[in-house]
Structure 1
Amino acid sequence: MLSILIPTFNTAIAELLQELHRQIQADQLPASVWICDDASSDQAIAAQNKEQAATLGFQYLSNTENLGRTATRSKLAEAAKTDWLLFLDADVLPARKDYLKSMLADIHDDWDVIFGGIEYAATPPKSEQMLRYVYGKKREAKLAVQRAENPHFIISQSLCITKSMFQKCNTITAKGYGLDNLFSNNLKKQQARVKHTDNPVVHLGLESSDTFLEKSLAGIQTTMELEAQGAIEADLRPIQRIYNRLKKFGLTGVFLALSNAFSAVIVKNLKSNKPSLLLFDVYRMNHLIKLKK
């Protein structure tokens, strides 16, 4: 038996719920679906989601205040009655028509986690969403054989995990961006047995470049806070390791001066139709060095 858990906030999920229902019914799969609305401010969307859940026979919970995705996942995990949990973000869709059937087939006592991967649509979005699309296509959309090289790094938009392992690794329930890095690090510390498969979901909810840049800097802030708390190592993320090398050779000041001098050019490129991920890394490193100082 599998509990499919979906935290949502101001996102219409009718298409996702209908597809999950279709797959469950088509193969009579032993799965239940639980939705938790995180105190959405858009009451019309929340009402539509609740009605759709009721129509399909799914469980629907609501938070009285906005707790954030991590805490909402914990609430859903507590409500679930099964040993295996499948967390899905509200802005994804299964890429395969047998997504759930394949996921259930992969569940075995040999594993603690099953990660099927993330995909992005083949057709590029409008230009104001291009940075998030390019980042996703080049940095997140990887085959199972590629992901298995760093097995504990997961993207929790589609995460199948035992309830016991989730509760061991979901150690911080505060709001914030970049908490997948902490979760992945906790999986590594727990020596979780992770199976990587090619059974992805498609990420549809692309932020604007402005919003993605803001979230990226917030993610850097979260990384620095977790590092200061000792929750993650100082060399966990690639950007931390690059910073350490810059610092070792006394180049952080030079890097900061040069990136500041070209900041307007960098931002213009990142908001363009052809954003450079190299410049995106420079933009984030500039922020990290400022935080360190």
Structure 2
Amino acid sequence: MLSILIPIYNYNAYPLVLELHKQCTDCGINFEIIGIDDASTQNKLENNAIQFLTNCSFIELSENIGRSKIRNLLASKANYDWLLYLDCDTFPENSDFILNYISRINLSAEKVLFGGIVYTKEKPTNDQLLRWTFGQKREAISVSQRKKNPYSTTFVSNILIKKTVFDAILFDEKITNYGYEDFAFIQNLKLENIDIEHIENPVFHLNLETSSLFLSKTKTALETLLFISKTNSKIEIESKIIKTHKMLCDLKINLWIGKLFQKLQSRLENHLTSEKPTLLAFDCYKIGYFCYLNSK
């Protein structure tokens, strides 16, 4: 019935697997849990214990293959008709998480199900506030709001998809660097007219990077987006960053924005890594950096 697929990188996924194993066992379903570690340097001992749970397997890669390839590899190892993708740094909010998904399987044969993402209400340490603030405002979206824009509010960190549907789409393995591989996958679902059904079945996002690391990963992701926009990759680009950049180009101020970003970059980064980061400044940082990238 169900293959639970978890890409792992530098995070202890064993507590997540243990909880999922318990829920699947309680439901009395045929299941497997597959974790593949993408050449991590941390938590090797903890994750290696996954393979000793019944119906669970753990594979450790010797070389990092990236977020697209590892998800395709996980699907190729799956033995059941339904694939549940979960990021290794998530955890179900409720004890009926698996039951909520399997109860909808027969009703959603040709749809993708997305259960949502939530964050803890407690503020993290000051050096993690940017990631937490972004997650609270931009990712922890209510079901009613998600249903209004089903494709733009879906994240692959908690999706249930039929294996035949996944195999017809796959993740774009030309995207080898961090960022926007999920965006590309969702856009391909849209192009193929595959519906996404939004339900209330969230997981907590637990791993909060420092604000400095989050900014660094954001820059890498924008570089990946530039690659996608230039190569097209058979994807209809609908990113807000792309649309904003095109508007700035039409106004002939994109080069000026790129130069302004270079002057203000340090001040923006100081603000975004402070105790009171704002998403307005973060949005300005992203479009500024994207304009700068395009001007190089």
**Range class of TM-score, shorter chain:** over 0.9
2:226 aligns with: 224
TM-score (norm 1): 0.93
Letter of the structure 2 residue corresponding to residue 237 of structure 1: S
Identity rate, percent: 31
Letter of the structure 2 residue corresponding to residue 140 of structure 1: E
Letter of the structure 1 residue corresponding to residue 84 of structure 2: L
Residue 277 of structure 1 and its aligned partner are, at CA, apart by 0.8
Q: Does 1:82 align with 2:80?
A: yes
Residue 261 of structure 1 and its aligned partner are, at CA, apart by 3.4
Conserved? CA contact 1:2–1:86, under 8 Å? yes
- Residue aligned with 1:7, SS: strand
- Residue aligned with 1:198, SS: coil
Residue 132 of structure 1 and its aligned partner are, at CA, apart by 0.6
Distance 1:32 1:187 in 2: 25
- Go from structure 1 to structure 2 and tell me whether the alpha carbon gap of 1:220 and 1:18 turns closer, same or farther (over 3 Å shift): same
Residue 255 of structure 1 and its aligned partner are, at CA, apart by 2.6
2:275 aligns with: 273
Q: Does 1:63 align with 2:61?
A: yes
Distance 2:171 2:88 in 1: 22
Distance 1:59 1:72 in 2: 15
Residue 231 of structure 1 and its aligned partner are, at CA, apart by 2.1
- Residue aligned with 2:58, SS: strand
- Residue aligned with 2:24, SS: helix
Conserved? CA contact 1:226–1:232, under 8 Å? no
Residue 124 of structure 1 and its aligned partner are, at CA, apart by 1.1
Distance 1:35 1:260 in 2: 41
Alignment match of 1:73 (pick from 71, 74, 84): 71
Between 25-34 and 122-131, report the one with greater CA deviation. Answer: 25-34
- Residue aligned with 1:262, SS: helix
Between 223-232 and 179-188, report the one with greater CA deviation. Answer: 223-232
Distance 1:74 1:235 in 2: 22
TM-score (norm 2): 0.92
Alignment match of 1:264 (pick from 263, 266, 272): 266
- Residue aligned with 2:132, SS: helix
Distance 1:232 1:286 in 2: 26
2:245 aligns with: 243
Distance 2:9 2:147 in 1: 31
TM-superposition CA deviations, 1:213-235 (whole Å, max 9, x none): 11111111111111111226675
Distance 1:63 1:253 in 2: 42
Conserved? CA contact 1:29–1:101, under 8 Å? no
Residue 66 of structure 1 and its aligned partner are, at CA, apart by 1.5
Letter of the structure 2 residue corresponding to residue 133 of structure 1: W
Letter of the structure 2 residue corresponding to residue 95 of structure 1: E
1:142 aligns with: 141
Between 46-55 and 2-11, report the one with greater CA deviation. Answer: 46-55
Between 170-179 and 158-167, report the one with greater CA deviation. Answer: 170-179
Between 1-10 and 27-36, report the one with greater CA deviation. Answer: 27-36
- Go from structure 1 to structure 2 and tell me whether the alpha carbon gap of 1:206 and 1:145 turns closer, same or farther (over 3 Å shift): same
Letter of the structure 2 residue corresponding to residue 253 of structure 1: L
Conserved? CA contact 1:35–1:59, under 8 Å? yes
Conserved? CA contact 2:8–2:88, under 8 Å? yes
Unaligned runs of 5+ in 1: none
Unaligned runs of 5+ in 2: none
Residue 125 of structure 1 and its aligned partner are, at CA, apart by 0.8
2:117 aligns with: 118
Conserved? CA contact 1:116–1:200, under 8 Å? yes
Alignment match of 2:100 (pick from 93, 99, 102): 102
1:161 aligns with: 161
1:31 aligns with: 31
